[in-house]
Amino acid sequence: MSEPLGLFGGTFDPVHFGHLRLAEESIAHLGLAGVRWIPAGHPPHRGMPQVTPQQRLEMVRRSTAGNERFSVDPSEVDAAAPSYTVHTLERLRRELGSEQSLVLLVGADAFAGLATWHRWRDILSLAHVAVSHRPGFPVEIGSLPDELASEFSARRLLDADALKARPAGGIVTFAMTQLAISATQIRTLLSNGKSARYLLPDAVLDYIQTHSLYRNA
């Protein structure tokens, strides 16, 4: 079987070094062929109507350009309707076939909420899930809702090599460099006229400044 492919969805509002290190470190930790970034099209309203899905996509493009292991998938941004992860995975399965190992990359905070996602159990049969540690969000069975905790116990893979053995269905955790950076923090800094430099790539910050994004709280 070919190397597993990482799939990294998120709002990326805006993309920052926490996202970039997660994607970069997942390749080595999990033995991935690469990471396909999939910015969400129509996230819940966050009070930033001036930042369009296309602009979030463009910031992801700028931050990942030059890394040959990264690719950007615009399909959720291009879709007219809100797209759910399960639909994106079904589309990727059609595109890449049933044999390709797919690994959905999520931070610990996102994983803790997985049981609220549309058809979440189907997600677990369409891809593996790799959970990265994130400051403030322990990955512990005791801190997960019961139904997710039992899936986690049943599906847990202790060795990332197992991601290669089958196309989907496992859950693995990995420790990445801990960066307490969030897009919320960056939006708050920018809306208060403060510096967000060194929390995200200069190319993204330049884009934000050129287009006067995140100025109003």
Residue ranges binding ligand ATP (CB under 6 A): 10-13, 18-19, 22, 106-107, 109-110, 132, 134, 179, 181-184
Sheet holding 171-174, edge to edge: 70-72, 34-39, 5-10, 102-107, 128-132, 171-174
Q: How far is the CB of 137 from ligand ATP (least distance, A)?
A: 8
Q: Nearer Cβ to ligand ATP, position 163 or 181?
A: 181
Q: Nearer Cβ to ligand ATP, position 1 or 175?
A: 175
Contact residues for 177 (Cβ-Cβ < 8 A; gap 6+): 21, 25
Q: How far is the CB of 53 from ligand ATP (least distance, A)?
A: 12
**H or E element at residue 88:** helix 85-96
Strand, helix or coil for residue 161 = coil
Taking the C-alpha atoms of residue 8 and residue 131, their distance in angstroms, rounded to an integer, is 11
Q: How far is the CB of 199 from ligand ATP (least distance, A)?
A: 10
Among all chains, which residue has been given the structure tokens 């030059």? 66
Structure token digits, residue 82:
């809100």
Q: Nearer Cβ to ligand ATP, position 3 or 17?
A: 17
Q: Give the single-character DSSP code of 130.
A: E
Q: How far is the CB of 98 from ligand ATP (least distance, A)?
A: 25
Q: Nearer Cβ to ligand ATP, position 47 or 97?
A: 47
Q: How far is the CB of 9 from ligand ATP (least distance, A)?
A: 7
Instruction: List the Cα angle 141/150/176 in 5-degree steps.
Output: 40
Q: Nearer Cβ to ligand ATP, position 19 or 151?
A: 19
DSSP string, 27-89: HHHHT-SEEEEEE-SSPSP-S-TTS-HHHHHHHHHHHHTT-TTEEE--HHHH-SS---HHHHH
Structure token digits, residue 25:
């470190």
Q: Which amino acid is at 214?
A: Y
Q: How far is the CB of 42 from ligand ATP (least distance, A)?
A: 14
